Structure 1
Amino acid sequence: MKANLTLRALALAGVATAFLPHYALAQDAGTTDDDSNIIVVTAQGREQSLADVPVAISAVSGEMLAKSGTTDIRELNQVAPSLLVSSTGNEANGSARIRGIGTVGDNPGLESSVAVFVDGVYRSRSGNALSELGPIDRIEILRGPQGTLGGRNSSAGMISVYTAPPEFELSGYGAFTYGNFDAMRIEGGINAPLSDTIAARVDGVYFKRDGFYNDVTNGTRINDRDRYLVRAQMLFEPSDSVSFRLVGDYSKKDEACCAATFVQPDFAPLARVSPGLDSFARPTTGGALTSTSNPIVPILLALGQNPLGLSQSTFNRNIYPTAGRSYQGETEDYGISGELNWELGAVTLTSITGYREYSNFQGSDADYTTVDLLYRTPGPNAGAREFKTFTQEIRLQGSLFDDRVDWLVGGFYANEKLQTRDNLRFGTQYGAFAPCRIVLAINPALVSPGSTGCLSAGGRGALQAANGGAGAFGAATPLIFAGLDTLAQVRDRGGTGDVYNQKSENFALFTHNIFRITDTLDLTLGLRYTNETKKFDATFGNDNTFCPTNRARLSPLLSGPLAGLAGGLIALSCQGNSSAELDGLSLSDKRDEDEFTGTAILSWKPTPDLMTYASYSRGYKAGGFNLDRSALANPVFFNRNTVNVSNLQFEEETVKAFEIGAKYSTREFGLSVAAFRQEFSNFQLNTFNGSVFLVQNVNSCGTALNGADRDASAATGACSPDQIQPGVIAQGFEMEATINPIPDLGFTLGLTYADTKFENDLIGRDTGAPLDPALRLLPGDNMSNAPEITATASASWTPEISASGMRGLVFVNARMTGDYNTGSDLLYGKEQDGFVVVNGRIGVTNIADRFAIEGWVQNLFDKQYTQVAFNTPFVAPQQTYSAFLAEPRTYGITLRGSF
C-alpha cells in the first residue's frame, strides 16, 4: 500500500510540475524588489537574497498567506510540505514538526523541537502561537537544527513570523468574512505617519464560529472559536542610520476545546497486526454493540454510556460526554517588544527585547465517555499553564577585508517562569467502573457493574466457596474483597490543586561568519555556547485517601503469587499517583546544562543564478522536568518520605545534521533541492499510555538486544553506556519549484520525502536503561506524524479584467500526505491512511482601486482525517482508541476594502 502511495505521490508531483500549481514555496515570498524579483530574508541574522542563503528555508509572503486563508501557524501545513502543525486535547498543546521531528505538546515541561518566533521574539511553546496572526509581512520556515542563530536553540527547525510593520504613508483596510458554522471574522487596521520620523499602526481581528462537535448530552457545541487580537506598533526613524520599532499586542480566546470521538473500523484501514498485542478491539464488532469481543463495552453501557457514542462513525461529530462536564477554557496572550537597528559606521547593532505573558486553562471530560471517570472542572486550576518570558538578543554585524569577511557576533538571554496547575479528579462513577477491570481479569462471568466492587452477592459467594471453601485466593480472599470494595469508593477524588513551578535562565554567546574565499566560493562558520539553568518546585493537593488504604492493605501480597492482582488493585486505586499521600508534599530540584553547537557550510555559485552548498550542523534542545505527578514513580508504588524527585528529569536532546543542496532562481523559474540526514540522541519522547504521560529520552544500543526492547518487561533491554548511539534518524530529500511564465500566472510545487524512524535496539535515557514497555512498538518503525511522502501544489491567476485595473483572482492549493501513524507509541489502531486536502479561492480584486470580494473554501472535498488518535483513558488496555479530528469543510465569502 505504501509503495502504491509513493507511486501516486510521484505521479502527482509530475502532473503538478507540468500543469498544477502550488503556492507558497521559498521563491514565492519575502520582500521583493519589483525590478529584479529578488526575495530578501533574514534567516542568517542579516538581510540576504533568498537565492544566496545556503540553508533549507521556505518563505511565504503575506499576500500568498491571504490567498491561502492562513490565519495561524497551524494552517501553514497547506503551504510547506516539510511542516506539520497539529493540536490535541488543548489548543495550548499545539505541536509543530519539521521533517517528521517534533515534540508532543501535552506536557509544557518539554520545549518545542520547532521554535516559533514572532517579530524576532521567542514564543515559549508552539501552542502559544496558535492564535490569530493579523496582517503578516512574511513567514520564514527554516528546516533542520538551528544551533547558532535564531535566539533560542531548536533541534528540528524554526518558524519566524514577521508581522506587517508601520509605514510612512496614511492607509487603512477592513475585511468582513462570513462562512458556514455561522463563522464571522472581522479584521481592520489603520496606518498613519505621526511625523517625518514616527509612524504608527493599529490592527485588530475578531473571529467567532460555532463548534465542529455537537455535544448531544449537554446541548452545546465544542471546538468553537471566540477570539480576538489587537496589535499596536510604532516605528521611529530619526535618521537613515537608526530605526526603532515598538510592538505591543493582546489576544484572548474564550472557547470550548477539545472533543474526541471513538475510533471505528472506518479509520486506520492500514492497521497492522503488532506482535505482543491483542487484536484491535474497537468499541463494536460486526455492528453488534453488545459484543463481548471488547468486554469493556458492556460495562460502559451498564454504567450509562450512550450507545451511539460507541457505534457511530469515527467522523460523526456528535459526542456524548458526561452530563454537566465542560470543555470550556480561556487563553490570554500579550506582550511588548522593541527592535533597534543602528548603523555605527561600518558596524550594525541589532537589539531585540521582548516580554510576554501567556496563560491558559481548559476544563474537560478527560475520559470522553458518558460515564463519569475522569474530569477537570473549568477554572484557573484546570490543566492551567502560565508563562512569563523575558528575552534579549544583541547582534553586531559588519565586514572586513573589502567585504571578504561578513562577520556577526551576538548574545542571547532568556528568563522564563512557568507555572502549571491541575485539578484532575476521578469521576463519580470511577469507583463503579475500575473494580470491573479487576473482576474481568478474575472471571468475566462474575462482572456486575451495578454491585459494590463489581461483584454481585452470588459472585462473592462463588469466589468464597472456591478451592473447597478456602476461597479463590486462599487466606488472602478477604483482602482481595476488601481491596475491591475500597477501590469502589474512589469517587470524585483526586487532585485538589497541584502546582508546578519552573524557572529557566538561558544565556548564549554566538558568532556566525561568512568567508568569501573567491568571488563564487563561500565558507560559513558558526559557533554557539549555551548555558541553561532550570529550577523546579512542586506542591501537591490530593484527597484520595483510598489509595494509601489499599496500598497498606495489599502491599504484603506483592511478593507472592497474587502480586499481579494486588498490584492491579493498587494501581487503579492510585492511578497517576493520585494519592492523599502526596497532599501537602513539596519537592524541589535543579539542573544545569552547557552545550556547544554550531554550523559549517561551504557554498559555491558557478553562475549568478545557481548556488550549491554542503553543510554540517549540531543542534540542541534543553532538558527539563516532567510536570506530571505520574512520573514520580512508575509503577505507582512509592513512599512519601522517599519520593525521588530526580525521576521527573529528562536530558537534553542533541542532533547532528548533514545536508547538501542547490538553488536555481530566475524571474520565470526557481528550483530548490536538498538532501539531508539528521541523527538525534536523547530524543525527547512524550506519550500517553492510556493511564499516564511518559517522558523518555530515546537512544539506541550498538549491541543487539535480541528483542528485549520489544517485550513487555521493564527490566530487560539494558545497554552498556559505552554502546549508546542515536535513537532517531531522519533522512530524505526536499524539492521546491516555482514557474512564473507571465506576471499574472504562477505555478509552484513542493515535495518532501522524509524517512524519519527509530533505530533498532532502543533504550531509554543515556544511562542505557531499558525502554519503557509501553514503547515496545517503536524499534525500527517510522515516527508518529511523520509521513514519508508529502507534496504541496498551488496555482495563482490574477488576470486584469478591466482598463480601470480591476483584476480577477483564481487560487487553488493542495497538500497530499502519505500514510502515517498518529500515536507516539505507534499502536497499530492509530494509523492514518494517506489523504489530499484542497483549498480554493475565487474573486474580483482592485474594484475601484479599493475593494475586493472573494469566495473561498477550505478542505474542498471534505476529507475526513484525524490529527491524533490516542489510547482512551482507562479503557486503553482493551486497545480502544479515541481521536481528535481535523477540521471539516468550511466555506464562506470575504469582502475587503482599503484606502
Structure 2
Amino acid sequence: MHKINTTLFKRSLLASAVAGALNTPLVQAQEESFALEEILVTASKRERSLQDTPISVSVTSQLAIEQSKIIDIADLQVLVPSLRVTSFTRVGSAVYAIRGFGNGGSSAGTEPAVGVFIDGVFRSRSSSSIGDLPRVSRIEVLSGPQSTLFGKNASAGVVSVITTPPSQEFEAKIEATLGNYNQRIVKGYVSGAVTDKLSMSFSGGMNQRDGFTESLSPGLKDLNDKDRYNLRAQALFEPNDSVSLRVIADYSDLDEICCTVGAVVNGPTADAIKALGGDVISTDDQFGYTSVLNLDPTNTIEDKGISFHADIDFENFTLTSISAIRNNESGPDLGECDYTSLDICKGTSHREIETFSQELRLTSNTDNALSWMVGASYFNEDITGEAETIYGDDLRNYVLALTGGPFSPLPTLEAIAGIPGEAFTAGWIVGGMIEQNNEAYSVFGTFDYQLTDSLTATLGLNYTNDEKEVELIQTSNPDVFSALDLDVVAGGAFAPFKGLQFRPPQLSIPNAVEDGKTDDSDTTWLARLSWEMNDNFNFYATASTGFKSSSWDLSNFAHPNINDAAAIAAAGIATPNQQYGNRFSSPEYATVYEIGMKSRFDNGSLNIAIFDQSIEDFHARTFDGVNFISSNAGELASQGVEFDILYAPTADWTFTLAGTYLDPVYEDYRNAPPPIGQSGAIDRSGERPGGIHTLSMTGSVVYNLTFDNGIDGYIRAEYQYERSSDLSDSFPGLSRQVNTANASAGLNFNNGFGAQLWIRNLNDDEYYTGAFAGVAQSGTVNSFLNQPQTYGVTVSYTF
C-alpha cells in the first residue's frame, strides 16, 4: 500500500487554508449584506447540501457553465482540476481521467475507468458523451470508485451531468454566437405547462466553425472544424405530490474533419518522404497549426436515445426507476495513417453501439436514525464494427527508398520467396470485423446510521457480475510479404526486414485457445464515518473499493499473448508468421482511503480531501507506431490532496481557487512496454508514470455589476495551471505544461436581452495534449495540440 507520509500530511494542513466550494452563486440579502446560496447535489443519491455531502465532489453550476462558455464535457477541465479529458485521432476517442486515473478511450473492448452519466444514464463510451451539452442544471465530478452509489462500476470516478427538467412556468430562450474561425452557434429552449400536471420542454442547438489548422495540400479542408447539432425533448408528468414521471428523448449528430497533429521530431524517414516528392509536418513551428495530409480525415458520430424516469413516494421510502435505450454510431470514417502528403496508408472504421440499461432504487425518506438506499441495475451492450487498413499508392516506393532505393534487396527477397513484385501492393486492404456483447448486473446499497446527533456511520456494498463475449475476425489480408517467416526464408538472411511486415495475418477470436469469453464478479464496499462538529465544519473518513471488468483489444492488428504461444502451436491454429502481443487485460481493482473536511462561513467555504488511491492490474495501452500494446500494470497508486476555496468579501466580488496535488507511482509494473525506439519489456516498478500531472490548479475572479436602471452583469477572469509532466511512458522527457487564461463579460438587460463577450486561451498558451510514434516512420514523434485562442460575442433573448 502507498502510505501517506508526514510531508504530504503537512502539505494537506497548509492546503486546508485555501479550500472551498467552486462556483457558488451569490444572492443579495440586504443592501449592505449578503448570504451564500446553498448548493444542492445528488452525488449521494439524495438531494443534500454540497457542504453536508461527505464525498469528494466538485460541482459546476449552471451559472459557471454559462459564464465560462463550457460547450462540452472536455471544456469542464478548465474548472475542475482533478479532471482531464484527452482527445486523440478522433473526436470520439477521448479518455477521461480523475486524479490521474483513466483509460478506455477509442478501444471498443475497454470500458472507461471514469463513468459518464447523463441524467443517471450510463454512457458506455466517450463517443456517446463528447457532443455539445444540453441545457444543464449542474455537473458533479465525483472522485474515486463509486460502485455503491452507481449500479455500473466506475473504478476511478464519475462525471454526472444533471439537465434541467421541464417547468410548469413558461420559459424560453434563444441564443446566437459569432466567433473567430467563422464560429456560429445557435441554440435555444422552450419549456412550460401543457396541463397543470404535465409540462414539456424542447431544446436544440447548432455549432459550426471552420477549422483552425490550415491544410497546405491543394483541395483539402482545414482541420478541427465544428459541425454538430443536437435536439432534446422532455415530458414531465406529476399527477400528484407523490409521483413524478419523466421521459427524455435526445438526438445529436457530428460530422467534422479532425484532428490536428504536430511534429515534435521528424526521424530519418522524412528524407525518404521528401525524396519521393512528399512533405512532412515542419518541426520549425510546432504550433503553426498547419497540415500536409493527402486526404480529409472524417469523423462522424450519430447518437440517440430515450429514457424513462419514475420517482414514486411511498410512506417510508421512494422508488426510483431509470430505463434507457441508446444507440451510438461512429463512421464510416476515413482516417490518415502517416500524416504526410504521401499516400502511404489510410484507414477506415465503422462502429455501432446499442445499449439497454435499467436501474431500480429504493431510498428511505423517514427521519429515523437509520437511512438507507438499496438498488439493482442491469446493463446490456452490443458492439459491432469494421476497420480496414488500406495500402497507399506510394507505400511500395517508400519502402524501397528506405531499404536502399535502386539497390534495395527487397526485389531479391520477393524472388526468393516466390512473390516477385507483390510486396506492399497499392490498394491492398487488411480488414476485420468485431462484435462484443456485454451483459452485467449488480445489486448495491448504502446504509447511514446516526450514532449520535453529530456522528454518522455509513456502510455501502455492491455485488457486480459482468460477462463479455467477443468475436474478432480478419476478413481480408492479401499481404503475402507480412505472412513470410523471415527467420526461415533464405536461412534468415532477410530477418532484419521483419520490421517492415506491416500487417501479418491475425488469429481470430474465438479459437481453440482463446474462447473470447469472460465472466467477472466482485463485491466492493465502502465504510465511512462523518462528524458534523457544528454548523460550520463537517469531517469524514472513508475507505472504499472499486472494480472494472476484463477488457479486450479488438483492433484489427491485435495478437494473442506470448504466454499462449505453446498452446496455439499445439492446437495447430497458428497463422503464417504468427505474431504475439497481448490483447486481453484482466479486471482492475481500486482501493481508496480518504479523509476530508467541508466547512462553510458567512462569506466563503472551505473543502479539502486527502487520499491514498491505488488500482491493481490497471489497464494500460500504448502505441508503438505499428501496433497497440495492451497490458496490466500490477499496481498504479497515488497519494494526493484536493482542495477548493471560495471567498466573497462582498456581494460584488467572488474569488475561487481549486487544486489537486498528486504523487503517482507504479508500485508494481513488471514486463511494461519500453519507451518508443527501444525493445524488450522493462520493469517500471517504483517509477513515476507519464501522463499524470502532479499539480493542477484553477482559479477565477468574478465581479458582479448592478446598475440603477435594472441592468446587471459580470466580469470574469479564470486561470488554469498544470505543472510540467511527461506526456506518456512512451516518450520520457516529452512534457506538457498548462498556463491558460480565459475571460468573459456579460450584461443582462431588463427587457430580456443579454450580451456576452468571451475569449478562451487569452494568452495564446501552447501545449501538447498527447503524442504518438509516427506510423511506419522510425524516429518520428507526432503530437496532438491544444486549441488556439478563440473568442466571440453571444447575444440572447429570454422570453
Q: Same fold (TM over 0.5)?
A: yes
Alpha carbons of 1:487 and 1:386: their partners in 2 closer, same or farther (altered >3 Å)? Answer: farther
SS in 2 for 1:360: strand
More strand by share: 2
Among candidates 574, 586, 606, match of residue 642 of structure 1? 574
Give matches, 1:561-710, under 5 Å. Answer: 562=493, 565-566=494-495, 568-573=496-501, 575-577=502-504, 589-633=516-560, 641-642=573-574, 648-699=583-634
Partner deviation per Cα, 1:119-141 (whole Å, 9 max, x = no partner): 00000123421101121100000
**CA deviation after TM superposition for structure 1 residue 830, in Å:** 3.0
Q: Distance in 2 between matches of 1:584 and 1:496?
A: 19
Q: Distance in 1 between matches of 2:343 and 2:153?
A: 42
Q: 2:796: which partner in 1? A: 896
Partner deviation per Cα, 1:514-570 (whole Å, 9 max, x = no partner): 11110110111000000001011122222424236633xx34259x775xx42x434
Partner deviation per Cα, 1:18-54 (whole Å, 9 max, x = no partner): 9xxx9x9446279999977222111111111111111
TM-score, with structure 2 as normaliser: 0.90
SS in 2 for 1:630: coil
**CA deviation after TM superposition for structure 1 residue 873, in Å:** 0.9
Matched, 1:431 2:396: yes
Alpha carbons of 1:775 and 1:255: their partners in 2 closer, same or farther (altered >3 Å)? Answer: farther
Q: 1:28: which partner in 2? A: 24
Q: 1:702: which partner in 2? A: none
SS in 1 for 2:706: coil
Q: Distance in 2 between matches of 1:300 and 1:239?
A: 72
Q: Distance in 2 between matches of 1:104 and 1:316?
A: 30
Q: 2:142: which partner in 1? A: 142
Alpha carbons of 1:144 and 1:548: their partners in 2 closer, same or farther (altered >3 Å)? Answer: closer
Which sits farther off after the overlay, 779-788 or 346-355?
779-788
Aligned amino acid, residue 629 of structure 2: L
Aligned amino acid, residue 629 of structure 1: N
Give matches, 1:872-887, under 5 Å. Answer: 872-875=774-777, 877-878=778-779, 880-887=780-787
Among candidates 768, 775, 791, match of residue 866 of structure 1? 768
Flag structure 2 segments of 5+ consecutive residues without an equivalent.
1-9
Alpha carbons of 1:38 and 1:802: their partners in 2 closer, same or farther (altered >3 Å)? Answer: same
Q: Distance in 1 between matches of 2:23 and 2:612?
A: 24
Q: 2:723: which partner in 1? A: 818
Whether the 8 Å CA contact 2:472–2:509 is kept in 1: the answer is no
Which sits farther off after the overlay, 777-786 or 536-545?
777-786
SS in 2 for 1:513: strand
Q: 1:395: which partner in 2? A: 361
Q: 2:374: which partner in 1? A: 409
SS in 1 for 2:66: helix
Q: Distance in 2 between matches of 1:15 and 1:175?
A: 40
Alpha carbons of 1:548 and 1:126: their partners in 2 closer, same or farther (altered >3 Å)? Answer: closer
**CA deviation after TM superposition for structure 1 residue 15, in Å:** 13
Alpha carbons of 1:493 and 1:14: their partners in 2 closer, same or farther (altered >3 Å)? Answer: farther
**CA deviation after TM superposition for structure 1 residue 348, in Å:** 0.5
SS in 2 for 1:631: coil
Among candidates 291, 300, 317, match of residue 347 of structure 1? 317
Whether the 8 Å CA contact 1:733–1:752 is kept in 2: the answer is yes
**CA deviation after TM superposition for structure 1 residue 316, in Å:** 1.1
Alpha carbons of 1:665 and 1:180: their partners in 2 closer, same or farther (altered >3 Å)? Answer: same
**CA deviation after TM superposition for structure 1 residue 481, in Å:** 6.9
Q: Distance in 1 between matches of 2:671 and 2:432?
A: 31
Matched, 1:371 2:342: yes
Whether the 8 Å CA contact 1:212–1:222 is kept in 2: the answer is yes
Q: Distance in 2 between matches of 1:572 and 1:415?
A: 41
Alpha carbons of 1:409 and 1:390: their partners in 2 closer, same or farther (altered >3 Å)? Answer: same
Aligned amino acid, residue 392 of structure 1: Q
Alpha carbons of 1:761 and 1:259: their partners in 2 closer, same or farther (altered >3 Å)? Answer: closer
**CA deviation after TM superposition for structure 1 residue 253, in Å:** 0.6
SS in 1 for 2:692: coil
SS in 2 for 1:220: coil
Q: 2:282: which partner in 1? A: 310
**CA deviation after TM superposition for structure 1 residue 785, in Å:** 2.6
Matched, 1:731 2:702: no
Give matches, 1:114-193, under 5 Å. Answer: 114-193=114-193
- Identity across the alignment (%): 29
Q: 2:254: which partner in 1? A: 253
SS in 2 for 1:221: coil
Matched, 1:842 2:745: yes
Alpha carbons of 1:454 and 1:312: their partners in 2 closer, same or farther (altered >3 Å)? Answer: farther
Q: Distance in 2 between matches of 1:737 and 1:32?
A: 20
Q: 1:789: which partner in 2? A: 695
Partner deviation per Cα, 1:349-394 (whole Å, 9 max, x = no partner): 0111111100112311111112222202xxxxx2222111111110
Q: Distance in 1 between matches of 2:201 and 2:519?
A: 42
Aligned amino acid, residue 617 of structure 2: N
Q: 1:809: which partner in 2? A: 714
Q: Distance in 2 between matches of 1:785 and 1:410?
A: 36
Q: 1:718: which partner in 2? A: none
Flag structure 1 segments of 5+ consecutive residues without an equivalent.
1-9, 264-281, 284-293, 377-381, 440-446, 461-477, 700-726, 766-771
Q: Distance in 2 between matches of 1:30 and 1:736?
A: 17
Q: Distance in 1 between matches of 2:349 and 2:28?
A: 44
Aligned amino acid, residue 685 of structure 1: A
Whether the 8 Å CA contact 1:31–1:39 is kept in 2: the answer is no
**CA deviation after TM superposition for structure 1 residue 680, in Å:** 1.2
Whether the 8 Å CA contact 2:672–2:681 is kept in 1: the answer is no
**CA deviation after TM superposition for structure 1 residue 84, in Å:** 0.6
Alpha carbons of 1:561 and 1:572: their partners in 2 closer, same or farther (altered >3 Å)? Answer: closer
SS in 1 for 2:65: helix
Alpha carbons of 1:634 and 1:690: their partners in 2 closer, same or farther (altered >3 Å)? Answer: farther
Q: Distance in 2 between matches of 1:301 and 1:246?
A: 58
Among candidates 629, 636, 651, match of residue 743 of structure 1? 651
Q: Distance in 2 between matches of 1:777 and 1:487?
A: 42
SS in 2 for 1:206: strand
Whether the 8 Å CA contact 2:310–2:321 is kept in 1: the answer is yes
Among candidates 286, 298, 302, match of residue 328 of structure 1? 298
Aligned amino acid, residue 810 of structure 1: I
Whether the 8 Å CA contact 1:748–1:793 is kept in 2: the answer is yes
Aligned amino acid, residue 642 of structure 1: A
Whether the 8 Å CA contact 2:109–2:551 is kept in 1: the answer is yes
**CA deviation after TM superposition for structure 1 residue 304, in Å:** 2.2
Partner deviation per Cα, 1:746-768 (whole Å, 9 max, x = no partner): 11100110112223562469xxx
Give matches, 1:232-243, under 5 Å. Answer: 232-243=233-244
Alpha carbons of 1:483 and 1:642: their partners in 2 closer, same or farther (altered >3 Å)? Answer: closer
Matched, 1:299 2:272: yes
Q: Distance in 1 between matches of 2:483 and 2:230?
A: 51
Aligned amino acid, residue 125 of structure 2: R
Q: Distance in 2 between matches of 1:424 and 1:527?
A: 46
Whether the 8 Å CA contact 1:777–1:826 is kept in 2: the answer is no
Whether the 8 Å CA contact 1:495–1:578 is kept in 2: the answer is no
Q: Distance in 1 between matches of 2:508 and 2:372?
A: 55
Among candidates 383, 395, 399, match of residue 349 of structure 2? 383
Q: Distance in 2 between matches of 1:854 and 1:548?
A: 58
Q: Distance in 2 between matches of 1:225 and 1:214?
A: 14
**CA deviation after TM superposition for structure 1 residue 215, in Å:** 1.6
Give matches, 1:510-525, under 5 Å. Answer: 510-525=444-459
Work out the number of aligned pairs and report it: 770
State the superposition RMSD in angstroms: 3.2
Q: Distance in 2 between matches of 1:688 and 1:821?
A: 16
Whether the 8 Å CA contact 1:867–1:884 is kept in 2: the answer is yes
Q: 1:504: which partner in 2? A: 438
Whether the 8 Å CA contact 2:436–2:471 is kept in 1: the answer is yes
Q: Distance in 2 between matches of 1:529 and 1:187?
A: 42
Whether the 8 Å CA contact 1:98–1:143 is kept in 2: the answer is yes
Among candidates 716, 731, 734, match of residue 830 of structure 1? 734
Alpha carbons of 1:244 and 1:642: their partners in 2 closer, same or farther (altered >3 Å)? Answer: same
